Structure 1
Amino acid sequence: MTATAAPTTSTGRTASAAMIWTALAIVYVVWGSTYLAIRIVVEAEIPPLLGMAARFLVAGSLLALILGLTSGWSRLRITRREAVGAAVVGLLLLAFGNGAVAIAEQTVPSGLAALLVAATPLWLMALRVGGGERPRLLSWLGVLIGFAGVAVLALSGGGDTTAKPLSIALIVFGTISWATGSRFSPRLGLPKDPLVTALYEMLFGGTAMLLLGVVRGEPGDLHLDRIHTSGWLALLYLVFFGSLLAYSAYSYLLANAPISLIGTYAYVNPAVAVLLGWLILSEPVTWQILAGGAVIICGVALLVTAERRPRTIAAEK
């Protein structure tokens, strides 16, 4: 096993390898389960954008309260530039990224949604090429294979007749938005404290989703007396595990780990999501889902392997 150099944080300190892998494990498992929770929320007649707005506004407020009480309220102070950066990332990752997935999951099974989101590293590579970078041949191969898998799922709807083409296109849009936010977040002058970054992104993103939900007319579809207990429980799970825990872990990774390593969550989350969707909601696992998903994951695995290889070689010298 080869040794790799530990990443350095924006504050100049060396990030703990144990912390990085712990954060990655949380993102692997917990985010894989959030697709199921989102599906349960929207099936329980909670409007998607209002539900996700509540998720992030409550989680962001709780995180602010925890940090303020344990570390002092001065920890929450940020500059205007940091606030603008957090607002941009919150808009791209949460309002447009997560919000699009929530709307789409009204008709798209959770496992299929997760497989389409698995293409995030492929869009990250496309953004890098657009920025003038020249990836290796193996990276190109991974991108081509991965997008072929996306095409299989998008054109077939995963073999599920309830998955509307517009909903699938919405997930692709959300994935591109998430990749864009992840790609440019290190350049936006975000707060150096990843937890502070996470809470402001959740507050800004949640506010944007609330406004978008009002524009979509979702308040007229909200009937609290019709919401099943499972919907409330799923929303609470998204608040405490999907947002407070997993999104904070993702923000930590963006500040302390290579993007190529972070991107590996994209081929672990779908496996978790498909399994849970099948076990709990009896979502069908069609041959199109298996074939398209396998192709996407192979493509992403090739891409991540190609992008990590230069770092490993350099660390061995």
Structure 2
Amino acid sequence: MRFRQVLPLIGALFALYIIWGSTYFVIRIGVESWPPLLMAGVRFLSAGVLLLAFLLLTGHKLPSLRPLLNAALIGVLLLAIGNGFVTVAEHQDVPSGIAAVVVATVPLFTLCFSRLFGIKTRKLEWMGIAIGLAGIILLNSGGNLSGNPWGALIIMVGSMSWAFGSVYGSRIELPSGMMAGAIEMLAAGIVLLVASLLTGERLTTLPTREGFMAVAYLALFGSIIAINAYMYLIRNVSPAVATSYAYVNPVVAVLLGTGFGGEHLSGVEWLALGVIILAVVLVTLGKYLFPAPPVVTPCETRKPR
């Protein structure tokens, strides 16, 4: 593989590993001066407007009604609920590292929802789900979440919504290329801003410089760049490599939160982090690490006439 081919791959993996892993810490900075739903809404609406404007100016056309509505629905499930609930939980003092560890369970829920759509599941993958659930129980008894059950529930619901949206989105017609991401971010931004208005969120003071920088970083790097990097990986590498961010992101988030955010994880929470990452590895890489034995079907023998 030539360097010109390797460089985009390295850049895309960096975007998923480091940028997506850092968004939990940046969200934590942002919610210190922004109401959570308002911040998430501004993030996705601005990212969607920028990406859609770029696509229209470069000759792309809006999709037909059905794929447009499908993309809007996926945007609500993944971004408005999935990411918006994480933002709300961090506003309720759930540490960014802990939030990332809970979100790491998304592949486990994805596997469960895949089963509902008729996709077969191996015993090894069910074992991964069981280990992941044990990790969640450990995490909820570790200190940060045991005193904040609503925060834990909010993130769990958001993770389940992201997982369901991921499975459902793979089975419906969506706009091609980056247009799907643009529509999804626009829909999520609108829904989040409406939710912010309905819940009575208000900006009592102007957000700090760090708050504005956090939203800019989340919109440009966390949304536009990272999402398109993920789309690139899905088209060019195996699913195991593309989804490997699921067990790298929590490590990056925990290191940033404890190293720069003053967050503290108990021994039980560190153990839960390891257990959940093990579960995600089994679910995402199990079929490659432990391939199923080939099924041999006997050939029919015909008697000579």
TM-score, normalised with respect to structure 2: 0.87
Structure 1: segments with no counterpart, 5+ residues: 4-15
2:89 is matched with which residue? 104
1:48 is matched with which residue? 36
Which has the greater radius of gyration?
A: 2
> In 1, are the aligned partners of 2:145 and 2:152 still within 8 Å (CA)?
no
Q: Which amino acid aligns with 2:19?
A: V
- Post-superposition Cα deviations, 1:46-73, rounded to whole Å, max 9, x if no partner, equal 011110110011111111222233x22x
Q: Which amino acid aligns with 2:129?
A: V
- Post-superposition Cα deviations, 1:146-177, rounded to whole Å, max 9, x if no partner, equal 111011112x2x42279510111000000000
1:140 is matched with which residue? 126
> In 1, are the aligned partners of 2:94 and 2:145 still within 8 Å (CA)?
no
From 168, 185, 190, the counterpart of 2:174: 190
From 14, 26, 46, the counterpart of 1:25: 14
> In 1, are the aligned partners of 2:145 and 2:151 still within 8 Å (CA)?
no
Cα distance in 1 for residues equivalent to 2:283 and 2:239 = 12
Q: Please say which of residues 18-27 and 279-288 is displaced more in the overlay.
A: 18-27
Matches within 5 A, 1:144-293: 144-154=130-140, 156=141, 158-160=142-144, 164-193=148-177, 195-218=178-201, 221-225=202-206, 227-253=207-233, 259-293=239-273
Matched, 1:88 2:73: yes
> In 1, are the aligned partners of 2:139 and 2:145 still within 8 Å (CA)?
no
Q: Which runs of 4+ in 1 moved over 6 A?
A: 310-314
Cα distance in 1 for residues equivalent to 2:248 and 2:181 = 22
Cα distance in 2 for residues equivalent to 1:310 and 1:161 = 34
Higher share of residues assigned helix: 1
> In 2, are the aligned partners of 1:260 and 1:307 still within 8 Å (CA)?
no
From 284, 295, 304, the counterpart of 2:275: 295
- Post-superposition Cα deviations, 1:202-260, rounded to whole Å, max 9, x if no partner, equal 00111111111111111xx31243x2221111111111111111122234445665554
Cα distance in 1 for residues equivalent to 2:286 and 2:216 = 39
Give the match's secondary structure for 2:98. helix
How far does residue 20 in structure 1 lie from its aligned partner after superposition? 5.4
Return closer, same or farther for 1:81/1:17 CA change in 2, 3 Å cut-off: farther
Structure 2: segments with no counterpart, 5+ residues: 295-305
Return closer, same or farther for 1:36/1:163 CA change in 2, 3 Å cut-off: farther
Q: Sequence identity of aligned pairs in percent?
A: 39
Q: Which amino acid aligns with 1:56?
A: F
Return closer, same or farther for 1:89/1:161 CA change in 2, 3 Å cut-off: closer
Q: Which amino acid aligns with 1:215?
A: L
Cα distance in 2 for residues equivalent to 1:86 and 1:310 = 35
Q: Which amino acid aligns with 1:172?
A: M
TM-score, normalised with respect to structure 1: 0.84
Cα distance in 2 for residues equivalent to 1:161 and 1:311 = 36
Return closer, same or farther for 1:236/1:51 CA change in 2, 3 Å cut-off: same
Query: Aligned-residue CA RMSD in angstroms?
Result: 2.4
> In 2, are the aligned partners of 1:136 and 1:306 still within 8 Å (CA)?
no
2:299 is matched with which residue? none
| Count of residues in Structure 1 that have an aligned counterpart in Structure 2 | 290
